Amino acid sequence: MNTQQPSPRLFQPAGPLRGRLRVPGDKSISHRSVMLGALAVGETRVTGLLEGEDVMATAAAMRAMGATVEKSGDEWRIHGVGVGGLLQPAAALEMGNSGTSTRLLMGLLASHAITAAFTGDASLSKRPMGRVIEPLSRIGAQFTPSPGGTLPLMMTGARVPVPIEYRLPVASAQVKSAILLAGLNTAGMTTVIEPVPTRDHSERMLRGFGAELAVEEADGDRIITIRGEAELQPQTIEVPGDPSSAAFFMVAASLVPGSDLVIENVGLNPTRAGLVEVLRLMGASIEEMDAREVGGEPVADLRVRHAALGGIEVNPALAPSMIDEFPVLFVAAALAEGRTVTRGLDELRVKESDRLAAMAAALAAAGARVEETEDGLVIEGTGGEALRGTADEQITTHLDHRIAMAMAVAGLVSRNGVEIDDTRPIATSFPAFEALLERASA
């Protein structure tokens, strides 16, 4: 984050959200387009790249290992070094707040015989890396993490990496992707078995770049196999809008009376579109317009109008397809009619913050009725009545961008506004969030 001093802000009640807006490019696809572009031989061109701090950390790391990553007009151009061609970085790779950059790059480096140090900010340095270290160690990489398996961390990739078959103990797109990226430079077939499907951007993009990758279903499992020593071909990529960023505007427009908002170019990959399904089950009015496919990813413009929401029991099977959207779903639940129950959300305890505890405390401070359980929240909604808001209390965001943005949305539907302790983390994924929110509700 740019400045050292916290930047608190009071988000106040606002008028209807109207007009059209476009959210930044999808963060998951942006990370992967930079990484795979850096492993292809030739020039990859990317438009719509998310220019938040997390993706810029990935870009800086790939530059440090020999790739050219530069912006030219509205386009990013990446000249890759080829699979197996990454160079030893001269200094530690600074990951900022980006868990995605860290875990995916650890996978990438696991099958390259180079040594790298990973560092991050205070929030990232609390996040566990053991779930990635364990399978990558089987491939032959060596790790010296800080106590508790966290950053700062030193790793050395395998000189002769070994292909593995790995069954994911918990649903995690980052762990799956790390293993597949390690498999790119590993002779033979590397296999990941997913008991629960997670977002599949890595599989789609690896295929797009020319990797030999197969996906099959067997006994309820999803089995993904990649052939190593791949030769990746440069691509031209248009990054769709990030559904996790669009989520804040979907919920805000659903909750603020009189809203009629079009969010353009939103990625609707089925492994990411859980929030749209859940909001519709609650009664939201979300219309898909101009549905199309861009770079192998389904995309549409979403027209969202104010609607009365009702509480529901959220199916835990939907959690992987909307794991980052739960903070703002909790805000929707706080204004719905009746009770919303969420379960199976253990993963939220190891995000940028413990998002279950953080959102329970934040919503309670703003006047919502919330009960925290071991693996979810139970929220009694107001039936559309505005939340009280915060009085003299600041909401603690724990350096978590999604907590900050979710509570900004809560401020729009409060009587007294909601003050958060720090807006700086928002820049990690959505630098223009505050400006777009003001414009939409002006």
Which one from 200, 242, 324, 421 is the annotated catalytic residue? Answer: 324
Can you tell me the mean pLDDT for 281-287?
98
Residues 206 and 251 in one domain: no
Query: Could you read off the pLDDT of 113-150 as tens digits, one per residue?
Result: 999 999 999 989 999 999 999 999 999 999 999 999 99
Is residue 371 a part of any domain in this protein?
yes
pLDDT bracket for residue 2 (50, 70, 90):
very low
Residues 140 and 253 in one domain: no
In-domain check, residue 136: yes
Of 225-229, 291-295, 305-309, 434-438, where does mean pLDDT reach its minimum? 291-295
Mean per-residue pLDDT for 292-303?
Answer: 89
Phi and psi, residue 233, nearest 5°: -100, 135
Q: Does residue 2 sit within a domain?
A: no
Residue 71 annotated as lining a ligand binding site: no
Q: Are residues 204 and 282 in the same domain?
A: no
Q: Is 28 annotated as a binding residue?
A: yes
Averaged pLDDT, 101-124:
97
324-352 confidence digits (pLDDT tens) = 999 999 999 999 999 999 999 998 998 88
> Mean pLDDT over all residues of the chain?
96
32 carries a ligand binding annotation: yes
pLDDT at 392 over 60: yes
Residues 309 and 413 in one domain: yes
User: 152 and 229: one domain?
Assistant: yes
**47 and 129 together in one domain:** yes
| Structural domain total, the chain | 2
pLDDT above 70 covers a percentage of the chain that reads 99
Domain shared by 344 and 317, yes or no: yes
Cβ contacts of residue 29 below 8 Å, gap of 6+? 201, 205, 237, 239, 240, 267, 297
pTM score of the predicted model: 0.87
**Tokens at residue 337, please?**
């009619």
114-124 burial: b if 16+ Cβ within 10 Å, else e: eebebbbbebb
pLDDT surpasses 50 at 157: yes
Higher pLDDT, 295 or 233: 233
Answer yes or no: is pLDDT of 3 > 60. Answer: no
Identify the pLDDT of residue 293: 87
Same-domain check for residues 132 and 225: yes
Please give the radius of gyration of the chain, using alpha carbons only, rounded to the nearest integer.
Answer: 21
- The residue range of the domain holding 306 is 9-25+240-440
Residue 259 in marked binding region: no
* 4 found inside a domain: no
Q: Is the pLDDT of residue 182 over 70?
A: yes
Does residue 3 lie in a domain region? Answer: no
Q: 40 with 149, same domain? A: yes
Annotation marks residue 324 as catalytic: yes
Of 235, 254, 281, which one is at a domain's C-terminal end?
A: 235
| The pLDDT of residue 4 is above 80 | no
- Identify the band that residue 391 occupies on the pLDDT scale cut at 50, 70 and 90: confident
Same-domain status, 19 and 36: no
Mean pLDDT (whole number) for 404-412: 98
In a domain, 1, yes or no: no
CATH number, domain at 276? 3.65.10.10
The verdict on whether residue 22 carries a ligand-binding annotation is: no
Residue where a domain stops, chosen among 215, 235, 255: 235
Nearest alpha-carbon partner for 377 in 327, 434, 302, 310: 327
Residue 133 lies in a domain: yes
Is residue 46 located within the same domain as residue 152? Answer: yes
Q: Is 321 annotated as a binding residue?
A: no
pLDDT of 1: 47
Q: Do 21 and 33 have their domain in common? A: no
* Mean local confidence (pLDDT), 99-122: 97
The answer to whether 334 touches 418, Cβ cutoff 8 Å, is no
pLDDT at position 220 is 92
pLDDT in tens, 13-39: 999 999 999 999 999 999 999 999 999
Cα–Cα distance between 256 and 197 in angstroms, integer? 34
Q: Which of 206, 235, 264 is the last residue of a domain?
A: 235
Residue 194 lies in a domain: yes
